[in-house]
């Protein structure tokens, strides 16, 4: 990957702050998360407004990342370089606010689903007071980012875990129409998969409650203009058809048919 501009003369960087935590996720989940630039403006939507991939190779990626509130004039060009042993990576700011700065991360596997994370922030600022202020801001942002990442990695780890095979039943009684409508949106399992029953223009519609991209739970996403948006990467789907509405080409798993029989709501294979 080549930077957009000729590299500037080296600037001395100083250690502004350190963030440490134990993350309840395996090293492979963390690698997946670090490579996954696409989740930045979705999962971390309160921090980032947009992210455009500029290049990718075996070592890492380069992106143009726009922080909230979304002024493209303040976008940063960031370069991720993974360590060859997989036990860490560096994110360098190549352009935009904070250039040049480095985030250096060391990953230490502790157990099957636990990894130690050590993050250091290095900036071109020598004044101790300014450094302390920058470091405190950095730690607070990173705490939130890792909270969000850890929740996603744990949910993904759970979604990928092997589970006993469950046959799809021929029919499932969800309850009386009045009860069901009072409990909407209603999550239910139908054989091996989870679905959610919602009301759309008065009709009861079931849709898959798991995103076909990286298996994010869609339990709590609002239905807006007949569509849902996945919280992890913002892929969008039409609730009634399950079709992708953003050109990604994915489709929600087919739901059971919902019928009203003698006042009861029945899910049918």
Name the segment binding ligand FES (CB under 6 A); options: 89-97, 159-167, 168-176, 230-238: 230-238
Least CB distance to ligand FES at residue 69 (A) = 23
Alpha carbons 224 and 212: distance in angstroms, whole number:
19
Q: Given candidates 125, 233, 265, 267, which one binds ligand FES under the rule CB under 6 A? A: 233
Name the segment binding ligand FES (CB under 6 A); options: 11-19, 88-96, 189-197, 231-239: 231-239
Q: Quick check: helix, strand or coil at residue 96?
A: coil
Applying the rule CB under 5 A, the residues between 145 and 184 that interact with Fe ion are 149
Count of beta carbons in the 10 Å neighbourhood of residue 166: 11
- Does 213 bind ligand FES (CB under 6 A)? Our answer is yes
- Does 235 bind ligand FES (CB under 6 A)? Our answer is yes
- Does 146 bind ligand FES (CB under 6 A)? Our answer is no
Name the segment binding ligand FES (CB under 6 A); options: 66-74, 80-88, 126-134, 229-237: 229-237
- Are the C-beta atoms of 180 and 174 separated by less than 8 Å? yes
Least CB distance to ligand FES at residue 142 (A) = 22
Q: Given candidates 34, 63, 211, 239, which one binds ligand FES under the rule CB under 6 A? A: 211
SS3 content of the chain, % helix, strand, coil (to 5): 20, 40, 40
At a CB cut-off of 8 Å and minimum separation 6, what does 153 contact? 23, 24, 25, 29, 30, 32, 33
- Does 19 bind ligand FES (CB under 6 A)? Our answer is no
What's the order of all strands across the beta sheet hosting 14-23?
14-23, 114-123, 101-111, 88-95, 76-82, 61-67, 48-56
- Does 207 bind ligand FES (CB under 6 A)? Our answer is no
Least CB distance to Fe ion at residue 110 (A) = 20
At a CB cut-off of 8 Å and minimum separation 6, what does 106 contact? 87, 88, 116, 117, 118
Q: ∠ CA(32), CA(243), CA(227), 5° rounding?
A: 90
Residue 188 or residue 232: which is nearer to ligand FES going by CB? Answer: 232
Q: Given candidates 23, 145, 216, 252, which one binds ligand FES under the rule CB under 6 A? A: 216
**Contacts to ligand FES by CB under 6 A:** 211, 213-214, 216, 230, 232-233, 235
């Amino acid at each position: 990957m080549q930077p957009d501009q000729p590299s500037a003369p080296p600037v001395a960087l100083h250690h502004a702050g350190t963030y440490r935590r134990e993350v309840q996720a395996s090293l492979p989940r963390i690698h997946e998360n670090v490579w996954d630039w696409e989740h930045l403006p979705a999962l971390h939507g309160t921090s980032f407004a947009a992210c455009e991939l500029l290049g990718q190779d075996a070592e890492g990626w380069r992106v143009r990342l726009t922080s909230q509130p979304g002024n493209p004039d303040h976008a940063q060009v960031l370069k991720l370089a993974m360590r060859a042993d997989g036990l860490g990576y560096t994110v360098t700011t190549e352009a935009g606010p904070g250039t040049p700065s480095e985030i250096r991360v060391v990953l230490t596997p502790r157990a099957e689903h636990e990894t130690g994370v050590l993050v250091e922030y290095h900036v071109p600022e020598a004044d101790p007071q300014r450094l302390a202020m920058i470091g405190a801001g950095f730690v607070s942002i990173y705490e939130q980012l890792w909270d969000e990442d850890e929740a996603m990695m744990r949910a993904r780890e759970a979604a990928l875990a092997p589970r006993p095979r469950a046959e799809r039943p021929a029919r499932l009684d969800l309850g009386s129409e009045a009860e069901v409508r009072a409990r909407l949106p209603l999550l239910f399992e139908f054989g091996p998969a989870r679905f959610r029953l919602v009301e759309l223009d008065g009709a009861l519609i079931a849709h898959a409650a798991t995103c076909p991209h990286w298996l994010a739970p869609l339990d709590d996403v609002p239905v807006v203009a007949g569509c849902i948006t996945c919280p992890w990467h913002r892929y969008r789907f039409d609730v009634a058809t399950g079709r992708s509405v953003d050109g990604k080409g994915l489709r929600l798993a087919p739901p059971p048919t919902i019928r009203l029989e003698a006042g009861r709501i029945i899910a049918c294979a």
